[in-house]
Amino acid sequence: MKIAIMGAMVEEITPLLETLKEYKKCEYAGNVYYEAEYKGLELVIAYSKIGKVFSTLTATTMIEKFGAEKLLFSGVAGAINPALKIGDLIAATALCQHDVDITAFGHPDGFIPEGKLFIESDQTLLSLAKEVAMQMDKSLLEGVIATGDQFIADEERKNWIAKTFDADALEMEGASVAVVCDALDVPFFILRAISDAADMDAGFNFDAFLESSAKESAAFVMKMLDKLAV
Ligand code: 3QA
């Protein structure tokens, strides 16, 4: 079984590479892909660079060039749901693109004709994550993640995203990865640990907590690999 693990920023995959220690590097299309073996699983790991476009390229490459059969995303996010504090984990049940706007033609926010407003995550991987959370005695919120090519550091925009999509967290890559996996029929799982609350302190908190929250997410993904390996 070949599994892709992706992040957007280098900080999001470094903890994984540090845990694995041994891997092979392969450069392709402006990114570095790391191939490793873990407990009988074949892994391909990469960070895409920030945003929907780069993450689309990386997810597609992992599937089409490297032959990934499942994709796990590990990274950080801005919290919308006030129950989510810095370092807390959220697994996406569904993802949407909050920055898509062709409402001038009567379409709802986030909707592209022939696309889906919400793309749902794989149920099997979500159940696996719930088992892992139980075993680790960690709380794992399941909810909607809204994606857009914007770092949100503004209460008003955040509240609009919250009410328009009933979203619990926001980031910049989940939905584009979901679009790729859905189209190519590859089960996917998007995990994020909170780095900030997408408010006026977001920039400051993001810098302060990127590393520690990215580690929380990566540690959880490693435990999911343990389960997928058996
Ligand atoms: C932010 C990263 C991008 O990959 C999306 C983090 C955490 N908080 C967020 C927020 N709004 C949107 N997304 C997020 N990730 C990239 S901008 C900072 C770049 O600094 C999730 C996320 N509030 C690079 C150094 O110059």
CATH of domain 2-229: 3.40.50.1580
What residues does each domain of the chain span?
A: 2-229
What pLDDT is attached to residue 53? 99
Longest dimension (CA), the chain: 52
Residue 172 CA to ligand 1 center (angstroms) comes to: 7
Chain center to CA of 116: 18
Confirm whether 99 is a catalytic residue: no
Amino acid at 96: C
pLDDT tens for 128-149 read 999 999 999 999 999 999 999 9
Identify the pLDDT of residue 114. 98
Structure tokens at 193: 């640990």
**DSSP assignment letter at 143:** E
Query: Residue 171 and residue 137: Cα distance in Å, rounded?
Result: 25
In this structure, what token pair is assigned to residue 124? 């099997």
The C-alpha atoms of residue 40 and residue 86 are separated, in whole angstroms, by 34
Question: How far, in Å, from the CA of 70 to the mean position of ligand 1?
Answer: 24
Q: What is the tens place of the pLDDT at every residue in 172-187? A: 999 999 999 999 999 9
- pLDDT reported for residue 223: 98
pTM value is: 0.98
Rounded to the nearest whole angstrom, what is the distance from the C-alpha of residue 208 to the centroid of ligand 1?
Answer: 12
CA-CA distances (angstroms) from residue 200 to 109, 158, 210?
Answer: 24, 10, 16
Q: Whose CA is nearest to atom 26 of ligand 1?
A: 207
Arithmetic mean of pLDDT over the chain: 98
Pocket of ligand 1 (CB under 6 A): 8-9, 50, 76-78, 151-153, 170-173, 195-196, 198, 202, 206
Which pLDDT tens digit goes with each residue over 50-104?
999 999 999 999 999 999 999 999 999 999 999 999 999 999 999 999 999 999 9
The phi and psi torsions of 3 (rounded to 5 degrees) equal -120, 130
Amino acid at 62: M
pLDDT at 230 (0 to 100): 82
